[in-house]
Structure 1
Amino acid sequence: MNKIYKKPLAELGFQFVSGDYLQQGADEFVFRDQKVDKSIFRPLSIREINILESNLNEAENWKDIFVKEGFNAHLVKNCRFFGINRIGKLENCFLEFKNLRMPVGLYNSTIISCDFADNVAIDRVNMLSHYQVGNEVMILQVNELATTATAKFGNGSVKKGEEEKIRIWLELGNENGGRKVIPFLQMKPGDAYLWTRNRDDKALQEKYIEMTLKEFSSERGFYGQIGDRTVIKNTGIIKDVNMGPDTYIKGANKLKNLSILSVPEAPSQIGEGCELVNGIIHEGCRIFYGVKAVRFILAAHSQLKYGARLINSYLGSNSTISCCEVLNALIYPAHEQHHNNSFLCAAVVQGQSNMAAGATLGSNHNSRGADGELQAGRGFWPGLSVALKHNSKFASFNLISKGNYPAEIHNPIPFSLIGNDDKTGGLLIIPAYWFLYNMYAIARNAWKFEARDQRLVKDDLLEFDYLAPDTVFELLNAINLFEKWAGQEWLNDPKNANENLELYVDGIENSKKKTKIAKVYKAYHAFKDILYYHAAKELLATMERNQSKDPILLLKETISKSTPIVDWENVGGQLIPKSALQELKNNIKSGKVNSWLQVHQFYQAQAKLYPDQKFENALNGLIQVLGKKELYEKETFTAWLNKAIIVSQNLADGIKNSRKKDFQDPFRLAMFGNEEEMKKVIGDWKSNDFILQAEKANKEFVEKLWKIFKG
């Protein structure tokens, strides 16, 4: 039975918070009044009351309405007022936004206990309750716009008198809730990642909860906020939603329990047919055309569109999910996922990733319980109609070719193309695929992610370069695996350069079929070569930061203080040594770090150390390949830099040649009458901006290294 209570009309707009939940000595307006200067408001004059009544306005008590100097009673028509309301200046003008024109004033609306700043335009809001509305806000045709006394605005808080079971959790990375976290307004993807790990460490997990509960107030009675210049039109229900300045909402069905962090430089927008519940939306986001999202965080400058479904998930900054479904996922920045038939479930995807059409990743229907997981490093790229099984794990920059993969896969080799071997039915892996056959794509993606990073405040140091400490560690691990599988002697014999070794290994696919590793000789040397290049590139970057230092002295100093190559962890897109993370966790458990703000300060401190650590890591990677530490000795130094020059030229040629192939494909040419028409339609690879840019970068790289030789 629906419980419907009957109360005196005079109480409507009052007793927002019952006395049982008020702080001692406080009234129900304590948090409301912290946001407004009551001294600038005055009671209505008798003349203003007469004008308001003549304009068909009603109030349970005109004494409960307060106005600011500049208030124009003629601009309030056919409204009903309940509770205490405050109205700012109303001028005889209209507001215009994207062809929407509205006269300033309050019209045809029911208003309960609200505060209005200057020159608002409100029309046909069936119920506007317990909101504080900013300057020049436009609201047209909304069924319900209300805040309740227990509003949480997307945070996982519990208010006084509420049961713990109502707390909102995000069940990230696993459908069974075993990695769930409590969302809070300033939660970064790194926070979510740390919290989802180390589930066996009870003391650490309790500290995460303790730190998070400090982010909230358990008090009742917070009013909803609508920031300056916000525009809302033709929307159904908006309940318990905070909106920052310049938010734009049009045609949404239902918005409930949200924080929308919009700012003038990066406004957020929600469009037609959207239904969003229990979420936090950061600045610069776009959500439109039938999106359904429940229990989610959307980081800055990300998009949900065209019927996307996002549930129990965190989507990192500068990402787009279109059409498809994502459940129980923690996704790092720069993720792309399109097409109506793709699906991602119970996954941690470490960004710079792209889901192709038809990819079915992580369906738990192939398990006896919904507890499987998928984990993928940076640059994860499953191709068309790929079907993967939980539990699978992939190193960085793995490309998976079209096909069904019925067994679990743990591939530790980065920069690989994964496919099915027609001969054996097992997996086929081509390591170093990107360097050997598709340099244009991997190099352009690194440039693209950097160029498209729209964050206003880049306080999280996101690594977009495909060569970085995480991939250096994986490259060295792969080199060791190649030596174990094929033998170091065979791999270092130039006679085998063109040998197509039939190399089959165990432990990558969970089946009785062996995995074929193709072109292992080329991959082995490509991985070594790229470490020469990476170390030289980081040497030049470090010289830029230390222009007064001699490069040999810089090398000696760095190598003398360097530590052995270490494993790094991708924490929300920022790379941090595992040893530093362990120290952070120890400090959290001891109470030395007791807030998420301090954790964020740790990220920033690590970001300052990162450039020099990256150089040190690159040198250590090269030392492992060379087997000697004296890189600064003339013969070794010269050989290293000469090798780096050759590799840089090969990479530049690879970028050009991999793109050139697209234009020389006879099947593409068949679409056009002749080559000239093709150039008119799709352009000429010779004038490709990115190829020209890569050639320029290579030239500059070589020139800088030659200066070191001459110096």
Structure 2
Amino acid sequence: MDRVILDKLENFSIDFVPRKFLVDKENPYLLRNRQSDSSRFRNLTSREIEILVKHNNSAESWDRVLVTDHFNPNLVKNCEFWGLVRIGDLQSGYLAYHKLRLPVGLYNSTIISCDLGDNVVVRNVRYLSHYIIGHHTILFNLDEMITVDNAKFGNGIVKEGETEDVRIWIELANENGNRAILPFVGILPADAYIWSRNRADRKFQQKLKELTDKLGDTRRGYYGEVGDHCVIKNSRIIKNVNFGSYCYVKGANKLKNLTIQSSADEPSQIGEGVELVNGIIGYGNRIFYGVKAVRFITGRNVQLKYGARLLNSFLGDNSTISCCEVLNNLIFPFHEQHHNNSFLIAATVQGQANIAAGATIGSNHNSRAPDGEIIAERGFWPGLCSNFKHNSYFAPFALVAKGTYYSELNIKLPFALVSPADKANEINIYPGYWFKHNMYALARNSWKFKNRDKRVIKEQHIETDYLAPDTVESMISGIEILRQGICQAAGKEFSIAEIIEQQNSIDGKLQVVLNDFVYHGKARVLKPAQGLHLYYQMIAYYGGLALYEFLKTQSFKSEKELAAALQERLTEHHRKWVNLGGQLVPAAEVQKLIDDIKSGLLDSWQKIHERYDRLWEAYPRQKWSHAVYSLLDLYEITPHDLTFERLRKILKHVKEIAGQLLKNAFKSREKDYTNPYRKMTYENEQEMEAVLGKIEDNSFLVEFENEVKEMQQQIDGILAKLV
């Protein structure tokens, strides 16, 4: 049990690092001097000491207060100095941030073994211990700001003399802790994903732990750092926290064991009532208004606000969480969750998701064990007050309607609307719903994600297009699932072409039921033939767009020349892809990455990140090849079968589908203007337009329409050449 002890005053400032752990017993400041330039400081003159004493300052020993040549003792008042304190230039002037203006200098503060940069403000800091403060930084109205000798600043390492049980793990994706990872400065969602998966590969897991330990230093005695141009004000307890430059902290209750990354281009801000413990905070974060976060990691350009609770979770870049409770999650970039009565527990959410109010993803104690796991691929949108049972899986762009889902779900059809059926343990599933009825939201989201990516440095690569290898492979699988379901319901075999040809008849007569989507239940498919046809069209569109991009920049004199050029550009056809934190990578390349880590070829996290970069450089060509191969497979042809006449048909089809998608986008937005129940709250058309704006002025729709029309015109130009 910790106790209050009484010791001699002469021991007050010694043994910051216990002597048995000192790196150099003759120089207790070895690590401190590596963090801060000690060569520019000198001893005080007798005149300077006289002025300091006159201004009601005291020191354990004035010999241990060092200053620079541009030090002004008149700017130091009512301060206590203990241990070795080094003070940079202090020149008459003030620092200003927003409307706050404070004179440069040290006032009414207790300072213990610190290095202070040039022209800082340290005012009303009751206890400042073992920190290195950058230039032009403001510390104002702080209760306690200290660093201890074994500080780790949020990194999952252990210091000399410590036991393994003090190591901080982040328990992602599962409440039982068996997918836990170690946090470190610079960690990416991709790192967290490969680490949280592959749990049976013990050698791989051990290698990742060793790579993380290499990043840290087991030696004790590192000081906390506050970068240049920081403002930290009106806060209570700060312990073992590193602050990047241009960081702004106001009114925090407690900050402990953290690294807050910040820069001039991507400044981070921590606001009122916040309590953050054991975390790595990314560049450009905004964390305000009563947020509580413990054992957590945030990526770049993340917002936490309005009482959000984030525990044992990784929140990816460009994400916002407000109000709600989020526990034991790995969340990829572009995640939105804004509502106080929603919570998300024990899930891997693979980005571009939006969690609605009242969504309870994690029933917590639906058995005698912790919750299992939920995996939701890109574009997961659970509706208001929807709740699920673990374990469940959701294919890309699953839109789940409000309801209580009593059994585990295995939603394998992408771009589908899932809703409860009339009978318990049954669901309805409408494949391809997004393309038909919600195209505005689907297209706008891809546009929105690109526009809202405020990261200056994009370390985590992110695919934002709704048509990409992961979603297309899911549609390819979906076509076969629907074909088999239709054949089973009809009691006879159909080809894909026959289903498309007889679409209306099949959807009007057959009731298709899938038995492996709901545990001990059934999934009734709404308009299965239409869904199959929509998947077919979108795969054709995906591949046709790739050919359009290829033909847009070059022309060919013969079909043979075209086939040769296509064959030359096509890479290996990868059918299985992995979403690495937002970046799509062929599964074979991920396995090679894992093997290279195990073999020692990739022997640092930096080298792993460089591999991600090289994979991203290869991705555009791989994606293009995947699109072309998907089209060829759909039509059951080879590159040599792409005659000019067939290309003309493909491009005309692309032009037609693009026009239909534009029409669907307008139609799905238009209902807000034409539905009488949407209109009834407005006095007249003019008031509705004043509130909603005119649909023809919608900036996204205008841009989308211009893009489609430009593409259609360019296709017409290509068609004229394909003779």
TM tier relative to shorter chain: over 0.9
> 1:555, CA displacement in angstroms?
5.6
Residues 246 and 391 (structure 1), Cα distance of their counterparts in 2 relative to 1, 3 Å cut: same
Q: Does 1:641 align with 2:651?
A: yes
Residues 117 and 84 (structure 1), Cα distance of their counterparts in 2 relative to 1, 3 Å cut: same
* C-alpha contact 1:321 1:338 (8 A) present in aligned 2: yes
Bigger Cα displacement from structure 2, 668-677 vs 217-226: 668-677
Alignment of 1:170-569 (within 5 A): 170-422=170-422, 426-487=426-487, 488-489=494-495, 491-492=498-499, 494-497=501-504, 499-500=507-508, 501-511=510-520, 513-542=521-550, 553=561, 556-559=564-567, 561-569=570-578
Counterpart CA distance in 2 for 1:424 and 1:226 is 58
Counterpart CA distance in 2 for 1:686 and 1:297 is 42
Structure-2 residue corresponding to 1:627: 636
Structure-1 residue corresponding to 2:491: none
> 1:425, CA displacement in angstroms?
5.5
* C-alpha contact 1:542 1:612 (8 A) present in aligned 2: no
Structure-2 residue corresponding to 1:689: 699
Counterpart CA distance in 1 for 2:122 and 2:558 is 66
> 1:371, CA displacement in angstroms?
4.4
Counterpart CA distance in 1 for 2:305 and 2:500 is 54
| Residue aligned with 2:192, SS | helix
> 1:265, CA displacement in angstroms?
1.0
Counterpart CA distance in 2 for 1:606 and 1:387 is 37
Structure-2 residue corresponding to 1:579: 588
Residues 121 and 420 (structure 1), Cα distance of their counterparts in 2 relative to 1, 3 Å cut: same
1:54-95 deviations in whole A, cap 9, x for unaligned?
000000100001111211101100000000111111111111
Structure-1 residue corresponding to 2:626: 617
TM-score (norm 1): 0.97
Structure-2 residue corresponding to 1:698: 708
Residues 184 and 551 (structure 1), Cα distance of their counterparts in 2 relative to 1, 3 Å cut: farther
Correspondence for 2:680 among 670, 675, 680: 670
Q: Does 1:596 align with 2:605?
A: yes
| Residue aligned with 2:144, SS | strand
Q: What amino acid sits opposite 1:533 in the alignment?
A: Y
* C-alpha contact 2:189 2:460 (8 A) present in aligned 1: no
TM-score (norm 2): 0.95
> 1:559, CA displacement in angstroms?
4.0
Bigger Cα displacement from structure 2, 276-285 vs 9-18: 9-18
Q: What amino acid sits opposite 2:237 in the alignment?
A: I
Structure-1 residue corresponding to 2:662: 652
Q: Does 1:10 align with 2:6?
A: no
Counterpart CA distance in 1 for 2:557 and 2:630 is 22
* C-alpha contact 1:321 1:336 (8 A) present in aligned 2: yes
* C-alpha contact 1:88 1:117 (8 A) present in aligned 2: yes
Q: What amino acid sits opposite 1:704 in the alignment?
A: Q
* C-alpha contact 1:559 1:619 (8 A) present in aligned 2: no
Residues 495 and 412 (structure 1), Cα distance of their counterparts in 2 relative to 1, 3 Å cut: closer
| Residue aligned with 1:516, SS | strand
Bigger Cα displacement from structure 2, 86-95 vs 26-35: 26-35
> 1:538, CA displacement in angstroms?
2.5
* C-alpha contact 1:559 1:629 (8 A) present in aligned 2: no
What do you get for the CA RMSD once the two structures are aligned?
A: 1.7
Alignment of 1:118-197 (within 5 A): 118-197=118-197
* C-alpha contact 1:274 1:292 (8 A) present in aligned 2: yes
Bigger Cα displacement from structure 2, 268-277 vs 496-505: 496-505
Q: What amino acid sits opposite 1:655 in the alignment?
A: A
| Residue aligned with 2:358, SS | coil
Counterpart CA distance in 1 for 2:80 and 2:591 is 59
* C-alpha contact 2:574 2:586 (8 A) present in aligned 1: no
> 1:482, CA displacement in angstroms?
1.2
Residues 164 and 34 (structure 1), Cα distance of their counterparts in 2 relative to 1, 3 Å cut: same
Counterpart CA distance in 1 for 2:220 and 2:237 is 22
Residues 249 and 550 (structure 1), Cα distance of their counterparts in 2 relative to 1, 3 Å cut: farther
Counterpart CA distance in 2 for 1:237 and 1:124 is 14
Counterpart CA distance in 2 for 1:8 and 1:707 is 89
| Residue aligned with 1:333, SS | coil
| Residue aligned with 1:317, SS | coil
* C-alpha contact 1:352 1:378 (8 A) present in aligned 2: yes
Counterpart CA distance in 2 for 1:391 and 1:194 is 20
Counterpart CA distance in 2 for 1:131 and 1:587 is 40
Gaps of 5+ in 2: 488-493
Counterpart CA distance in 2 for 1:670 and 1:26 is 82
Counterpart CA distance in 2 for 1:559 and 1:25 is 68
Bigger Cα displacement from structure 2, 494-503 vs 310-319: 494-503
Bigger Cα displacement from structure 2, 202-211 vs 489-498: 489-498
Counterpart CA distance in 2 for 1:172 and 1:489 is 44
Residues 476 and 538 (structure 1), Cα distance of their counterparts in 2 relative to 1, 3 Å cut: same
> 1:24, CA displacement in angstroms?
4.6
> 1:551, CA displacement in angstroms?
11
> 1:198, CA displacement in angstroms?
1.2
Counterpart CA distance in 2 for 1:554 and 1:16 is 73
Counterpart CA distance in 2 for 1:441 and 1:35 is 50
| Residue aligned with 1:650, SS | helix
Counterpart CA distance in 1 for 2:531 and 2:504 is 10
Q: What amino acid sits opposite 1:695 in the alignment?
A: E
Q: What amino acid sits opposite 2:64 in the alignment?
A: D
> 1:558, CA displacement in angstroms?
3.9
| Residue aligned with 2:578, SS | strand
Residues 239 and 423 (structure 1), Cα distance of their counterparts in 2 relative to 1, 3 Å cut: closer
Counterpart CA distance in 2 for 1:222 and 1:24 is 13
Counterpart CA distance in 2 for 1:550 and 1:126 is 81
Identity over aligned pairs, percent: 45
Q: What amino acid sits opposite 2:204 in the alignment?
A: L
* C-alpha contact 2:330 2:348 (8 A) present in aligned 1: yes
> 1:368, CA displacement in angstroms?
2.1
Aligned residues: 709
> 1:523, CA displacement in angstroms?
1.0
| Residue aligned with 2:35, SS | coil
| Residue aligned with 2:278, SS | strand
* C-alpha contact 1:364 1:390 (8 A) present in aligned 2: no
> 1:31, CA displacement in angstroms?
1.5
> 1:221, CA displacement in angstroms?
0.5
Residues 555 and 680 (structure 1), Cα distance of their counterparts in 2 relative to 1, 3 Å cut: farther
Q: What amino acid sits opposite 1:260 in the alignment?
A: I
1:544-601 deviations in whole A, cap 9, x for unaligned?
7x66888965664444654344110000000000000111111111111111111101
Q: What amino acid sits opposite 1:482 in the alignment?
A: L
* C-alpha contact 1:291 1:305 (8 A) present in aligned 2: yes
